[in-house]
Structure 1
Amino acid sequence: MTRLPLADRRTELIGAAVRVIARSGLAAATTRAIVAEAGMPLGSFHYAFDSRDDLIAAVIDTITDEEHDAALSALPHAADGGTDLATTLRHGLDRYLDLLVADPQREQALLELSLYAMRQNTPTPQASGQYRAYYRAAAHSLDLAASACGMEWSVPLHRAARLLVTITDGVTSTWLADRDTAAARDTVIFAADALARLARPAAADLTAPSPIAHMSRKEQPRAD
């Protein structure tokens, strides 16, 4: 077997974990099952990850980053001018829906991870690590989208972010149940318009940097 670079080995194992979890559930996603899915020897797993929990965290981070980057793909067009916030948000949600339709297994795996965490942990007012990652990505996306359109949020950003996560959760679970993409697109239009109504024109700030220069969430300071 050809020796893979560490980054490639991690990518292969993350993809294998997603497939196993989506197909058989988290309980079946043992390290042996994951390396078998990836076509690797068991030793490859321990070379790439410290533990199964380490791999699961990487699965969540990887998928969240990909969805976040897809949503941000709408922003360069908004920065050119002439695009309102509702349209920008709709484009971002559409990109997320495109990812969901193209690879439902990824979201099924994340849903399984979320349900597992709820079963294992005592209910608490604090969001799980998985949802804290969702909220960070949503807040960053909304902040950049509003700035690109010359708007600002009239409600605290964390509240708008939680609403966006709630919307995407609903779109995801409903689409996974009925696979009605046209209906999901209709929901996206309604949701983007509703979110945009929570924003107002921003006060002029000639010293503010361009939001598009800081589009990668990976470069932003963590909020937790």
Structure 2
Amino acid sequence: MTRPVRPLRADAARNRELLLAAAEDEFVERGVSASVADIARRAGVAKGTVFRHFATKEELIAAIVGGHLAALTAVARRLLDSADPGAALLEFLTVAADTRQQHDLTFLQTVSDGDSTVIEIRDQLYASIGALVDRARAAGAIRPDITGMDVVLLVCAPVHVAGNLPDPAPDLWRRYLAIIFDGLRPEGASPLPRPAPSWP
């Protein structure tokens, strides 16, 4: 069951956005042990303001993660109207990798794994990715044995691969995304050794 969402006044909405941005910066710098007091100080609000918006630190983390997942879901849904399904899938993967390069929140996602709202938004994202893949496959832009879950698992790969270097160029991930996307194309494809996994 999702939490009810009540509309916020303009000032309250502004404070919430300030808190989310400050909290993300604080967590990136200090890890999940960052204190609510430090987050409030960075956002320029009172500590009580944090708790008026988020009852716990875990709820704050879930809001950060959920916000990023929701933004990617909006991108995927917009691209479902594209006239070129292959280009749409590549654009989504590019946006997703660029977002991960700028906001690598893997450590926060682990904390929010059990949050019902995050799970719901994540499932919506995966369904939207699946729809993009279905369209690209039907158009012959990608090989016929590629599934939505294959692409979900590949979303993080370009940035992760580039991150194995001690000081990679900021856009090095684009090289590996190009290699990955070429591997999704039907030209020269050989049979895959195992079936695609499904999400548990």
Task: Tell me if TM exceeds 0.5.
Answer: yes
Secondary structure of 2:55's aligned partner: coil
Determine whether 1:173 maps to 2:160. yes
Aligned-residue offset at 1:34: 1.1
Q: Contact conserved, 2:40 with 2:46, CA < 8 A, in 1?
A: yes
Secondary structure of 1:50's aligned partner: coil
Structure 1 residues 98 and 143 mapped into 2: Cα distance closer, same or farther (>3 Å)?
same
Structure 1 residues 37 and 44 mapped into 2: Cα distance closer, same or farther (>3 Å)?
same
Paired residue for 2:86?
86
Which 5+ residue runs of structure 1 have no aligned equivalent?
118-126, 198-222
Deviations 1:123-159 (A, max 9, x none): xxxx75567754541331231453378549956xxx8
Paired residue for 2:66?
61
Paired residue for 1:42?
47
Aligned-residue offset at 1:14: 1.1
Aligned-residue offset at 1:187: 2.0
- How many Å separate the matches in 1 of 2:111 and 2:162? 21
Paired residue for 1:97?
97
Deviations 1:181-208 (A, max 9, x none): 55422322232344455xxxxxxxxxxx
One of 170, 174, 177 as aligned partner of 1:185: 174
Matches within 5 A, 1:155-166: 160-166=147-153
Structure 1 residues 8 and 25 mapped into 2: Cα distance closer, same or farther (>3 Å)?
same
- How many Å separate the matches in 2 of 1:65 and 1:20? 21
- How many Å separate the matches in 2 of 1:132 and 1:65? 10
Structure 1 residues 175 and 34 mapped into 2: Cα distance closer, same or farther (>3 Å)?
farther
Q: Contact conserved, 1:72 with 1:92, CA < 8 A, in 2?
A: no
Matches within 5 A, 1:118-133: 133=121
Structure 1 residues 194 and 148 mapped into 2: Cα distance closer, same or farther (>3 Å)?
closer
Deviations 1:78-105 (A, max 9, x none): 33xxx2x43321111122233345xx2x
The TM-score with structure 2 as length reference comes to 0.68
Aligned-residue offset at 1:17: 1.1
Paired residue for 2:128?
140
Paired residue for 2:14?
8
Aligned-residue offset at 1:16: 1.0
- How many Å separate the matches in 1 of 2:169 and 2:76? 21
- How many Å separate the matches in 2 of 1:53 and 1:40? 19
Aligned-residue offset at 1:60: 0.8
Aligned-residue offset at 1:24: 1.3
Structure 1 residues 169 and 20 mapped into 2: Cα distance closer, same or farther (>3 Å)?
same
- How many Å separate the matches in 1 of 2:119 and 2:152? 9
Structure 1 residues 44 and 10 mapped into 2: Cα distance closer, same or farther (>3 Å)?
same
RMSD: 3.5
Q: Contact conserved, 1:86 with 1:196, CA < 8 A, in 2?
A: no
- Larger RCO: Structure 1 or Structure 2 (Cα < 8 Å, ≥ 6 residues apart)? 1
Aligned-residue offset at 1:13: 1.1
